Amino acid sequence: MGRKVTQVDFGVPELPRDKNVAAYCRVSSGKDAMLHSLEAQVSYYSSLIQSHSGWEYAGVYADEARTGTKDTRENFVRLLDDCRAGKIDMVLTKSISRFARNTVTLLETVRELKGIGVDVYFEEQNIHSLSTDGELMLTVLASYAQEESRSASENQKWRIKKNFEEGKPWSSTLLGYRNVNGRYEIVPEEAETVRMIFDWYLEGLGATAIRNRLNAMGIETRLGNKWSRSPILKLLRNYAYTGNLLLQRTYRENHITKKCIINKGEKPMYHAENTHAAIIDMDTFNRVQEEMERRAEQFKHKKGEKTPTNPFSGLVRCCRCRKNYVRSGSPSYRTWTCRTRRKEGLKNCGADIIPEEELLRLTAEVIGGEVTEDAVRDKITAIRAEENRTLVFCLRNGKETVKQWKEHEVVHVCTEEQKRQISLKNSGRKQTEEQRRRQSERMKEYWKTHSFTGEQLQKIREKRKAYWNDSEASEAHRQKLSRMMKEMRAGNSGAGKEGDGNA
């Protein structure tokens, strides 16, 4: 019998693929020394992963978070998302406290990553989360890390309490003052801005009008930003400008959530008198508080009265900037405008303004009945305002309905009685001669002591140049200047002829 030889094909052996390895770093404050430490950690882990055979570099995720107890660390969340997406096989981190100081958060995260096969290696403790005894060791050591966080929080609370008892201020970013060795010292230029804001408010200006005036004058906030309504209202309510301090008006819930709670008697308050020089006298401060209460009372709803809401509030969304539409216009002609366009102008968002009449008509067609808040919310989840006057109604059944609205030609005609009422209303807003004189004197004094830095002058020149280069913005201004110059020339020419004739 002949010999039979059969070739056995074992196939090409499958080589193990390289692990996708990432690292996570965190520092607990934004100080320069800490930021240098963060840079060093990023550089170290980048070199370590790229030089290790069998490892594929998947990036270094770094946060400049104040604490490890919060889940709002942006890059930490991004790291978890990439792990869930299968982009990472192993995560390197310096220690348990750098990863999370909250035991529950740490164990939940590690268990989730373990469930999808992602290993977390804690370098300082030499622990792999996928090892058999890894979770037991992590539980014990994470408890120590959480206790360390609690101890640091208690020490901080004790230090703050001692400062309060001694009448030392907590904030160091108060416009008009600088915290020098635990005591507020006045910054003259900023103090003048504070006085102007208080005076303008008592003269009848609101927070929005004050904001616009400060930004037009080029005056910046304490941190060098443009003004908005909220900082102005906070400034007007700040008791520290009277030279006194009311301390511990808020406190933190605990060292894990760090939620800020208004103190309603749960903790002691400290009232320190004459701790620093006052910018605003007590009489002016009290008058401003009374005026704020008076204005708030005008918009306050009676007890038990339900605040009226609109069926479309928070429902209409701009397709350009993704912001909601807000209701605007006069009672005779209501419209819905993109929030970005309304606040920042047409240059930042060119979305169309939707007439409310058209919005109501199209919504009635879509829901097949009367437009009420309950009827709209029951059938519609969102309304997308797209280009070419198009509205896309997103229904609760998952379908979408597309409608187009029509532009209305509105002619505003005022009767004589309406003109008289408008004139009376506007006359009440005009400043008296005494108010104008005081304002003029105050501005003269302000500009005597105020001078622009080279950087501010450069910004002004750039704004001016951008304005005159913008044909749309400056065309009306150019026409106005041209008309004024022609009138001046005509007036001068007429005066010269008349003078020659009299001579």
DSSP secondary structure string for all residues of 255-307: TTT--EEE-SSSS--EEE-S-S--SS-HHHHHHHHHHHHHHHHHTPPPTTPPP
Q: Are 94 and 124 in contact (CB under 8 A)?
A: yes
pLDDT digits (tens, 9 = 90+) for 264-291: 767 777 777 888 888 999 999 999 999 9
Weakest-pLDDT range from 171-175, 219-223, 350-354: 171-175
Residues 6+ apart with CB under 8 A from 369: 375
Alpha carbon 43 to chain centroid, angstroms: 32
- The pLDDT of residue 148 is above 90: no
CA distances from 262 to 50, 186, 231, 256, 425 (A): 50, 28, 19, 18, 40
Task: Find the radius of gyration of the CA atoms of the chain.
Answer: 33
Which of 209-213, 349-353, 497-501 has the least mean pLDDT?
Answer: 497-501
Residue 384: pLDDT above 50? yes
Residue closest to 136 by CA, chosen among 107, 98, 176: 107
Query: What is d(CA 400, CA 382) in angstroms, rounded to the nearest whole number?
Result: 10
- What SS3 class is residue 12? coil
Output the 3-class SS for 429-488: CCCCHHHHHHHHHHHHHHHHHCCCCHHHHHHHHHHHHHHHHCHHHHHHHHHHHHHHHHHH
Beta strands 55-63; 245-247: pairing state: unpaired
What pLDDT, in 10s, does the model give residues 226-243? 888 889 999 999 888 988
> Is the Cβ–Cβ distance between 338 and 317 less than 8 Å?
no
> What's the mean pLDDT in 81-110?
82
Does the pLDDT of residue 496 top 60, yes or no? no
394-448 pLDDT, tens digit each:
988 888 899 998 876 655 556 777 777 777 666 656 667 787 788 888 887 777 7
pLDDT, tens digit (0-9, with 9 covering 90-100), for 161-190? 666 666 676 667 788 888 888 788 889 999
DSSP 62-116: EE--S-SS-S--HHHHHHHHHHHTT--SEEEES-HHHH-S-HHHHHHHHHHHHHT
pLDDT band at 392 (very low <50, low <70, confident <90, very high): very high
Quote the Cα angle for 32-35-40, to 5°. Answer: 125
Alpha carbons 248 and 262: distance in angstroms, whole number: 9
Average pLDDT in the chain: 78
Alpha helix stretches (DSSP H) within 116-176 = 134-165
What is the structure's pLDDT at 276? 85
| pLDDT > 70 in the chain, percent | 72
Residue 500, pLDDT > 60, answer no
Q: Who has greater pLDDT, 499 or 293? A: 293
503 pLDDT more than 60: no
User: Which residues are within 8 A (CB) of 50 and not within 5 positions of it... i.e. 6 or more apart?
Assistant: 57
12/482: higher pLDDT: 482
What separation in angstroms does the CA of 335 have from each of 93, 149, 330? Answer: 54, 53, 8
Using the predicted structure, report yes or no on whether residue 458 has a pLDDT greater than 90.
no
**Residue 125 in contact with residue 137, Cβ under 8 Å?**
yes
Query: Is the pLDDT assigned to residue 464 strictly greater than 50?
Result: yes
The pTM of the whole model exceeds 0.85: no
324: which DSSP letter? B
> pLDDT-derived band of residue 255, with 50, 70 and 90 as boundaries?
low
- Of the candidates 276, 262, 274, the residue with the CA atom closest to the CA atom of residue 182: 276
Rank 40-44, 104-108, 407-411, 496-500 by mean pLDDT and report only the highest: 40-44
What is the torsional sign of CA 253, 255, 256, 260?
positive
Q: Which residue type occupies 70?
A: K
Which two tokens mark 144?
A: 């120590």
pLDDT of res. 469: 73
